[in-house]
Structure 1
Amino acid sequence: MARQRSEAVAETMSKTHNIRNMCVIAHVDHGKSTLTDALVYKAGIITEQQAGQRRFTDSLETEQEKGITIKSSSVSMFYELDDQVLGDLKRDGNGFLVNLIDSPGHVDFSSEVTAALRVTDGALLVVDAVSGVSVQTETVLRQALSERVQLTLIINKVDRCILEQKLEPEELYKKLSGIIARCNALIATYRSTDDTIYSDEHFNPKSGNVSFASGKQGWAFTLSQFATFYAEKTKVSKEKYMDRLWGESFYSASNKKWLSYEQSRTSDDAKRGFNQFILQPLYQMLTACADLNMDEVRTLLTKIDIKLPAEKLDATVLDSKTIMSNVMKRWLPAGEAMLHLIVLHLPSPAQAQTYRIQHLYEGPQDDQVACSMKACDPKGDVMIYISKKIPAQDGSRFLCFGRIFSGTIVSGTNVRILGPDFHPGSTSDLQIKNVTSVGVMIGDRCIQMHSVPAGNVVALTGIDKCLLKTATITTNPDAHNFRVMKFSVSPVVRVAVDVKNPTDHAKLIDGLKKLVQADSLVQVLNENGQQVIACAGELHLEICLADLEKLHARCELKVATPIVTYRETITAESRQIAFTKTTNKHNKFFMRASPLEEGLADAIESGRISSKQDPKERSKILVEEFGWDLATTKKIWAFGPYDNGPNILVDSTRSVDGLGNIQDAVVAAFQWTTQEGVLASENLRGARIELLDAEIHRDSAHRRPDQLIPAIRRCLLASLHMAEPRLLEPIFLVDVECPTHMIGKVYSTLNKRRGQIGEESELSGTTLSRIKAYLPVNESFGFTEELRRVTSGTAFPQCQFDHWSLLPGEPFDMNTKCGQIVSETRQRKSLSEQVPALESLIDRQ
């Protein structure tokens, strides 16, 4: 059977209209992995008994222990659908290949969500019917919109609303419609103005792109399934039922007429169509199973033409939950409803690449490569984007996982590997290597294939040592890069690690290199000989340390106390112009620093403004939104740090001879200074540096980089020193769900840690409340454990990096918290305890 599935997958790979590349996205614990089991079961990979319990895509030991998804996991599955379901859908036969990626819901691992969305064209957005739209739901939806990924919606855990909350049908309808309205409002808020694939009312049960489900019990349905059932029974068209089974359509049984909302108010027995024709039979079946009323269960099964073996309904042996699951899986199998969402409402690669390529590809949209990708041409030049690396089971090598946008990759193909810093025409960040083998992922296993054509996801071996995290793989010598992925979280929590046994130091260094490759977000820094790991949060840090010790380094570690990443900024314009000169006195520099306009740093970090975008487009945004002078926008020399950071270097000189001779040195010093600021050698954020004037020696021997760069750096540091520098601390947005009577304990725990309450709301139909608050990352260590302890485990917090905020206190006063942090940070980095005095930075004219 496994061989037949592999052959079917291989055969369908070349049928681009029959491929669906999609992922499942949601807030943590909303039921993604459990629902995914239904699709895995329908593909014949696991048994019916395992579906909903196995969590097939959570293959890591840590995932099974913690009960959450940590790494995104891909499964390629083959399905056959009948003509009645497919209708006039454009296709090549009835066999469909679904490349599914189950992604994490915890905010600490949202970089995995970004990597999954980059290689897929569609997504199932899962929302808990009890909790509703949560903070991470909003985050993953925004990520999907930014990657131009088409969305369908599954509202999960509907059974809990019926059996636990005891909601009346009309109450449940209003709750479900409220969730749909909230998701549509988020799309309307976050979708790009030039985005044509979403409407403001994107999710609509009438169009069939919304499903209602219970992943645990293994059932789900769309309006289409019920409309088909009733159409066959009554000979009324399916389209009419689709229109009446949702919204303000009411049915009067006595008059046998459909009524509008206004008409229904004068009728005694008019009921909403959704409640009467969908919820009422659902309530009857669930209640009969819960009460073990087997006579009614059998009667209801007869009405819907379903037969079950006697052992599946044996109340003397089975409990009510098992019987309920057996009945509902047969009546409304979740895999079938989800498959309809995927095949009928998510795009094929042939459709999606026509509009996604203009967003993903950095090169000209009319070049040969772009045209091949838009056509999803299997005969074109190979273009693959590698979004992540998957460790082999022994941890020694990596599979490079990505998406083929054009061409066909064959084992042994010689490819060009373009790193993120590659520029066409150069040889920097470029390597050429043979692909050893190609394959597709089935959970944690890689199934080898001879070749994989355009439109599919693929796992490549043999090239892992040629790329760090992501890369563009191509056979075209003129191809440009794919855009670098933007992550919604930042690595703001750091910890120093070392080995317990000094002889294992080489293992640690090698393990850290592998950790960086295996995790899209983690960073490893060397600070004064210490190896420091930077992660998104406490849980991310815990997982990274466990992976490092058990899988990558395979040795015992010593872990220091976690520390927090800060940023430096300025709050005023330099009080005087900074002046420095080179040690040979032949070159002089005059500079000034000032804060960036409000919102400009955020725009740079989000990618709206960048060094790579069209200068005219950048100038327009800077002039219209931030009040810059048009002439100034044309004299931007650099963004920093790392050429894309939230600081800007501007040339404000007039008629300086030989300015072009020192531009590279000024930019290099600017990049250095924005990486290591004046207060604590932390990254700079939100500063505009202007070169006002310069005197440059004509002889190149007197203006060598080793003479220029130190002097320019001193000038930069001095201008920042005189611009009221301050520290910025990272702030988490904390989303807490807890019983309403526990709110006081949540507030007191937050207040002890400098937390600020944002908003509080009750979850309708429950005894739960949701609190949104802001918590400094420095105060977040141990917060989750303390909150769960004081609330007896009933409160569950989600911490997500939200923004940077000024740290209270004066950085030059050692009696303030800000001053103490500056001092501690400088000591940790082996710098002098005191910030350098201004006199040591500037020169006399």
Structure 2
Amino acid sequence: MVNEEKLRAAMGQSRNIRNMAVIAHVDHGKTTLTDALLARAGVISLEQAGVKRATDTRKDEQEKGITIKSTAVSMLFERAAPTSSLNPGEENPEGVGEGVTRPAGSGAGVAYVVNLIDSPGHVDFSSEVTAALRIADGAMVVVDCVEGVCVQTETVLRQALAERIKPVLMVNKMDRAVFETQLAPEEMYQSLARTIENVNVILSTYGGEDGVMGDIMLDPTKGNVAFGSGLHGWGFNLGQFARMYAARFKVKAEKLQRRLWGNHFYSPTEGKWRDTPAEGYERGFNKFVIEPLVKMLRACKDTDTETVLKLASNVNVTLTSEERALTGKSLMRCVMKKWLPAAEGMLDVIIEHLPSPDVAQMYRTELLYEGPMDDPVAIAMRKCDPTGPLMVYVSKMVPAADKGRFLAVGRVFSGTASSGTKVRIMGPDYKPDSAIKTDLFIKPIQGTKILVGATTYSAGDMPCGNIVGLGGIDKYLLKTGTITTYEHAHNMKVLKFSVSPVVRVAVDVINPAHLPKLVEGLKRLSKADPMVQCKTENGQHLVMGAGELHLEVCLQDLEEDHAGVPLKKSEPVVTYQETVVDKSDRVCLAKSSNKLCRLHMTAEPLPAGLADAIEKGLIKSTMDVKERSRILVDEYGFELADTKKIWCFGPNGSGPNILVDMTKGVSYIQDIRDAVVAGFQWVTGEGALTENTVRGVRFNIVDALVHRDASHRGGGQVIPMTRRAMLAAMLTAQPRVLEPVYLVEVMCPKQAVGAAINLLSRKRGEIIEQNPQEGTPMTTVKAYMPVNESFGFNGELRGDTGGQAFPQFHFDHWQVLAGDTADLTSRACAVVTEIRKRKGLVEKVPALENYLDKL
């Protein structure tokens, strides 16, 4: 059972806290591995570990066998002070790992708190991973030793490095390498080395050159890599094996550990080591780790009780009479859990190689906090000071025990969060410098909770460096926000997701009397999921998600929990965007309704890659103008004069379109700037073709006539004029429709590759690479495929390949839909007509004359 008082007391020692997320590709075993740590902390029983999947708290997670929501668990571990070597075992000429003893037990010693977040691996739920990483400092990356590094492994690692999260590695499912692929020791070593190297390639590519996190490269000899099998509850790191053998070889464990990986070969007859292979010499890892492991696993699997007992006594494992009667897998799980418990192998890696909050906040604060680095909040965050001003970042909401209410899950970065304290609750739209304070509430915290999976425990207060659940905040924050007691505090940075909500479904109630419940349910749904967007368009209630599975889960939650009434749902529809592909063929003029102001505008596409850079936050409206100008001139070929007169980005002030003032010597132009910007935000939110969002367009104000009398140039005159000028500019610049494109990765055996490629081709897929995976019978096919073609793809792929292929979708980019929107026979024109019909607009795109004025 969880001892709440002990756990809360230990949470005050920030040096001994580790905040970590478990991240991986789907089905690589994150949740089963988490079970081992939960069992070691006493949250679940040892027998349930690996089977219960305790952090899958939802019914559909247990049924589907995948994690859908990230779950936070605070655990207390008491560990003995580390010992450099252990007592020698008995001599054993032919047995497992000669002279091996079991790792030291965990006598009471130092108390460590591990705040762990088990996150989903499926790409549709990667927004949950983003939310989890924000409040963690380290990540345990889990990789299946047979499948190796997959597309989602790379995505989540990239997200982690962008948030300055330090990684450690767990190579899981080692039992598959022994029993399924039946690799020889040297092949197994090469396969493991390849996996670690592939992860290191990603770390060196995206890890940045600043080196603020220290050395992040993974190497088993450093002790930041563990191996094991979560399902069977065993695991180890090289440090454990080095300590086992240290006394027998009469060398220091640290020295031996370096020889248990890489090119170090040992000869049992000569008792010598060398760095190159030779006859009679065997690689240290194979001889001292793989051989004893395989010997033990095979003996247990074959129920060779005599050998098992002999090997068990060599490694100081005692079996009771009931345990001796076990057979096959049950015997194997029992012996291996006693000899190499997975939790010990992982805890060494987590506690020794992941940073504590004091260390991590030193280098993460500048990345997370938007205010100046010398204000009291930033200083307290850097020091992780429990007596400083309170600073909490809420990264997600989880449904609370009271129906319809939510707990705000966040991380205390400085100060101490206490029940009853009056705090400033700042939403993402709060601007500290603005005279009008929007998105700000001053309210008390109603309760602080320690989160242990599906259970919560009340705590009077929570010091910084910990993950906390806060009550009463859900009324004032939608999804994320900042909570502070310092009056002049700035916000923490808003989460950036690696996926976007490109699939939408319209929902409606069957019984009109239930409409208020649906509206309330949609509000709760958008709170409960970091990614989902709910909006009303032309009287339709739309739910927008990252993919088919994400939408399916959201709609099920809406129907069963949030709204609680039966619903009708439309077929999923893809979100398209608008752009232009050429420069306007003329300067477009629009006059104000009183004919006293004029605006001359053109539109043109942004240079390649600029829209992506704006979306990723590499180029922002809030940047220093000189720095932004340098990037735009050097990398995107802008004129220097134009970069200094960028009025804004849009839509929402941060979207991938820009408005440039290219006028010279126009009187009063600055007086209408706000109104023109408002018109620009309107147009970029609702384009000329389908009233969808615009992407990748630069609008230029070429000339203007502004009336000297302020009463004749108000917003009511200027905003509609700006809109008409911009829509005309778009229509004269070859407008096109953009469709979202997935990167699809299909894993299948070599014989099923042909069927997979045929299906991808039928779905307008563009094959980009085909890689046979070394050491396995699998091949990976990567292709770009329009999101519109992805519906039902999984079922068709299973049918065509006899269930042997596994697809993984990841939103990759937007591409121009082939064909002119004015050509009635083109696909693009059909899409435009269909969207306009669905939105209840006139079917034909309004003609240019509707927007263009003559002098």
Q: Tell me which interval the TM-score lies in, with the shorter structure as reference length.
A: over 0.9
Which range is displaced more, 754-763 or 509-518? Answer: 754-763
Looking at structure 2, the residues matched to 522 and 152 of structure 1 have their Cα atoms a distance apart, in angstroms, of: 30
Residue from 61, 64, 80 that aligns with 1:66: 64
1:12-60 Cα offsets, whole Å, 9 max, x none, are: 1110101111010000000000000000000011111100000000010
Shift of 1:723: 0.8
Q: How many residues align?
A: 831
Looking at structure 1, the residues matched to 84 and 840 of structure 2 have their Cα atoms a distance apart, in angstroms, of: 67
SS in 1 for 2:47: coil
Shift of 1:6: 0.7
8 Å CA contact 1:675–1:683 kept in 2: the answer is yes
Looking at structure 1, the residues matched to 23 and 319 of structure 2 have their Cα atoms a distance apart, in angstroms, of: 34
Residue from 160, 169, 174 that aligns with 2:190: 174
Matched, 1:250 2:265: yes
1:463 counterpart letter in structure 2:
I
- Name the counterpart of 2:104: none
Which range is displaced more, 823-832 or 477-486? Answer: 823-832
Matched, 1:663 2:673: yes
8 Å CA contact 2:837–2:843 kept in 1: the answer is yes
- Name the counterpart of 1:303: 314
Looking at structure 2, the residues matched to 829 and 378 of structure 1 have their Cα atoms a distance apart, in angstroms, of: 53
Looking at structure 2, the residues matched to 594 and 195 of structure 1 have their Cα atoms a distance apart, in angstroms, of: 40
2:604 counterpart letter in structure 1:
S
Looking at structure 2, the residues matched to 813 and 500 of structure 1 have their Cα atoms a distance apart, in angstroms, of: 40
Shift of 1:112: 0.3
Shift of 1:624: 1.9
SS in 1 for 2:55: coil
- Name the counterpart of 1:779: 789
Shift of 1:616: 2.7
Matched, 1:373 2:381: yes
- Name the counterpart of 2:412: 404
8 Å CA contact 2:300–2:327 kept in 1: the answer is no
TM-score (norm 1): 0.97
1:307 counterpart letter in structure 2:
T
Residue from 580, 583, 595 that aligns with 1:570: 580
Residue from 5, 23, 26 that aligns with 1:7: 5
- Name the counterpart of 1:442: 452
8 Å CA contact 1:732–1:774 kept in 2: the answer is yes
Looking at structure 1, the residues matched to 291 and 342 of structure 2 have their Cα atoms a distance apart, in angstroms, of: 19
8 Å CA contact 1:810–1:819 kept in 2: the answer is yes
- Name the counterpart of 1:237: 252
SS in 2 for 1:185: helix
Looking at structure 2, the residues matched to 762 and 311 of structure 1 have their Cα atoms a distance apart, in angstroms, of: 46
Pairs within 5 Å for 1:323-342? 323-342=331-350
Shift of 1:195: 4.1
Looking at structure 1, the residues matched to 791 and 755 of structure 2 have their Cα atoms a distance apart, in angstroms, of: 18
Looking at structure 1, the residues matched to 579 and 41 of structure 2 have their Cα atoms a distance apart, in angstroms, of: 54
Shift of 1:647: 0.6
Shift of 1:619: 2.0
- Name the counterpart of 1:594: 604
Shift of 1:706: 1.3
SS in 1 for 2:733: coil
Shift of 1:810: 1.3
SS in 1 for 2:822: coil
- Name the counterpart of 2:96: none
2:426 counterpart letter in structure 1:
L
2:255 counterpart letter in structure 1:
K
- Name the counterpart of 1:828: 838
Shift of 1:395: 3.2
- Name the counterpart of 2:82: 84
Looking at structure 2, the residues matched to 319 and 578 of structure 1 have their Cα atoms a distance apart, in angstroms, of: 83
Pairs within 5 Å for 1:255-654? 255-261=270-276, 264=277, 267-314=278-325, 318-426=326-434, 427-654=437-664
Pairs within 5 Å for 1:98-109? 98-109=114-125
Residue from 132, 139, 144 that aligns with 1:116: 132
1:419 counterpart letter in structure 2:
G
Which range is displaced more, 740-749 or 525-534? Answer: 740-749
Looking at structure 1, the residues matched to 457 and 207 of structure 2 have their Cα atoms a distance apart, in angstroms, of: 37
Shift of 1:93: 6.9
Matched, 1:739 2:737: no
8 Å CA contact 2:684–2:694 kept in 1: the answer is yes
Looking at structure 2, the residues matched to 772 and 406 of structure 1 have their Cα atoms a distance apart, in angstroms, of: 44
SS in 2 for 1:732: strand
Shift of 1:648: 0.8
Shift of 1:393: 3.8
8 Å CA contact 1:187–1:198 kept in 2: the answer is no
TM-score (norm 2): 0.96
Shift of 1:484: 0.5
Matched, 1:676 2:674: no
Matched, 1:150 2:166: yes
Shift of 1:795: 1.5
1:778-801 Cα offsets, whole Å, 9 max, x none, are: 111111111122222221111111
Shift of 1:809: 1.4
- Name the counterpart of 2:778: 768
Gaps of at least 5 residues in structure 1 are: none
SS in 2 for 1:211: strand
Shift of 1:86: 9.7
SS in 1 for 2:784: strand
8 Å CA contact 2:591–2:853 kept in 1: the answer is yes
SS in 2 for 1:248: coil
Shift of 1:429: 1.3
2:168 counterpart letter in structure 1:
T
1:68-103 Cα offsets, whole Å, 9 max, x none, are: 00000011000011112599xxxx971001100000
After superposition, the Cα gap between the structure-2 partners of 1:589 and 1:86, relative to the gap in structure 1 and judged at 3 Å, is farther
1:518 counterpart letter in structure 2:
A
After superposition, the Cα gap between the structure-2 partners of 1:233 and 1:370, relative to the gap in structure 1 and judged at 3 Å, is same
Residue from 47, 50, 57 that aligns with 2:48: 50
Looking at structure 2, the residues matched to 230 and 373 of structure 1 have their Cα atoms a distance apart, in angstroms, of: 43
8 Å CA contact 1:191–1:198 kept in 2: the answer is no
1:88-122 Cα offsets, whole Å, 9 max, x none, are: xxxx9710011000000000000000000000000
1:305 counterpart letter in structure 2:
N
Which range is displaced more, 268-277 or 752-761? Answer: 752-761
Shift of 1:736: 1.2
8 Å CA contact 2:603–2:697 kept in 1: the answer is yes
- Name the counterpart of 2:243: 228
Looking at structure 2, the residues matched to 207 and 191 of structure 1 have their Cα atoms a distance apart, in angstroms, of: 18
Looking at structure 2, the residues matched to 693 and 234 of structure 1 have their Cα atoms a distance apart, in angstroms, of: 85
2:232 counterpart letter in structure 1:
Q
Residue from 37, 40, 45 that aligns with 1:39: 37
8 Å CA contact 2:80–2:109 kept in 1: the answer is no
1:146 counterpart letter in structure 2:
A
SS in 2 for 1:554: coil
| TM-align CA RMSD | 1.3
- Name the counterpart of 2:813: 803
Looking at structure 2, the residues matched to 159 and 93 of structure 1 have their Cα atoms a distance apart, in angstroms, of: 33
1:146-202 Cα offsets, whole Å, 9 max, x none, are: 110010000101110111111011101111010111111011111223343254x70
After superposition, the Cα gap between the structure-2 partners of 1:166 and 1:462, relative to the gap in structure 1 and judged at 3 Å, is same
2:367 counterpart letter in structure 1:
H
1:303-347 Cα offsets, whole Å, 9 max, x none, are: 112112122231xxx331111111111111001111111111000
1:596 counterpart letter in structure 2:
L
8 Å CA contact 2:50–2:233 kept in 1: the answer is yes
Shift of 1:739: 1.9
2:409 counterpart letter in structure 1:
F
Shift of 1:416: 0.4
